[in-house]
Amino acid sequence: MLKVGKKIIVVALGGNALVQEGEKGTIQEQFANTRKSITGIVQCIKKGFDVVITHGNGPQVGNMLLRTELSRDKVPELPLGICVADTEGAIGYMIQQTMVNSLQKEQIDKCVVTILTQVVVDKDDNAFRNPTKPIGPFFAAEEAGKIAKDQGWEMVENRHRGYRRVVASPRPLKIVERESVKRLLESGEVVIAAGGGGIPVIVEEDGSLEGADCVVDKDLASSVLALDIKADCLVMLTGVEHVCLNYGESDQKPLATITIKEAESYMAEGHFPSGSMGPKIQAAVNFLKGGGECVFITAIDKVWEAIAGKTGTRIVP
């Protein structure tokens, strides 16, 4: 259990926090899912933790890109960075409004602030030549093949869920607005930042920032943000209650507590695919090696139970 006190936790909401499997992803559905997702986060705030919320945006960006493709002859094409910025604002609004309403009901006097967050990446990162980051909805094999041919998208298979588009996802290096996040936390505010991994930018020779046509993994960016603001704990919420070995197989084994060494060993054995649990485990390792106290990975409605030591997977140095 993470000891209650004046600690900073970064809570990363997975993509299923807003759009769950089998849903169309309407705004009404997304608001309803957001209300379910933040219940445990409000509990953490009640217990005295300072909280920064990050979130995914894969389904939302995928849908935005699909709309752009379908209207290619009518409106200008949008680069990935702009799609991330648009969804960071829209999803931030949903989480922010939901948090404000929940805090008011609990008579907690805190402001909630969404920061459009830029994340620095290396323009020479090999990821630009090797797209691997899944975004958007899942497709059946036949439909995925047609879309790949018509739209020029690269698609990869998730053996449990179907096919999905992949785009370049370079490693995040630092959060441009990290000092703003720190100051807001020091003022007692709840901060929503690095949505969808943040808006990717490169640093030019003169020090100016320029948008990059790619996306940044939300969990890896959350880890960088957590280290930048000296957070004590990183909590990553997803569609399962525990990290598992042999996930989806008859000998599936849930993990309760593991060390960095064990996590790296399991990764090397191929237990955590890059399109699902892999980035979360890598983010956990990066955070702990950078000085973080602990990491929790659990289901979106189990955040407080995980921190209280009742469920979830805990990763420690």
Q: Which are the catalytic amino acids?
A: 15-16, 133, 218, 280
Beta-bridge mates of residue 296: 235, 314
State how far the Cα of 307 lies from the Cα of 119, in Å rounded to an integer: 28
Phi and psi, residue 108, nearest 5°: -100, 120
Question: By three-state DSSP, how is residue 166 classified?
Answer: strand
Do residues 194 and 254 make contact, with C-beta atoms less than 8 angstroms apart? no
Question: By three-state DSSP, how is residue 103 classified?
Answer: helix
State how far the Cα of 134 lies from the Cα of 276, in Å rounded to an integer: 9
State how far the Cα of 101 lies from the Cα of 27, in Å rounded to an integer: 17
Where does residue 298 rank: exposed (0-12), middle (13-18), buried (19+ CB within 10 A)?
buried
Query: Which residues, 6+ apart, have CB-to-CB distance to 134 below 8 Å?
Result: 58, 156, 158, 164, 165, 166, 275
| Type and span of the H or E element at 50 | strand 50-55
Do residues 284 and 293 make contact, with C-beta atoms less than 8 angstroms apart? no
Do residues 238 and 16 make contact, with C-beta atoms less than 8 angstroms apart? yes
State how far the Cα of 187 lies from the Cα of 43, in Å rounded to an integer: 19
State how far the Cα of 155 lies from the Cα of 162, in Å rounded to an integer: 10
State how far the Cα of 283 lies from the Cα of 234, in Å rounded to an integer: 9
Q: How many CB atoms lie within 10 A of CB 71?
A: 11
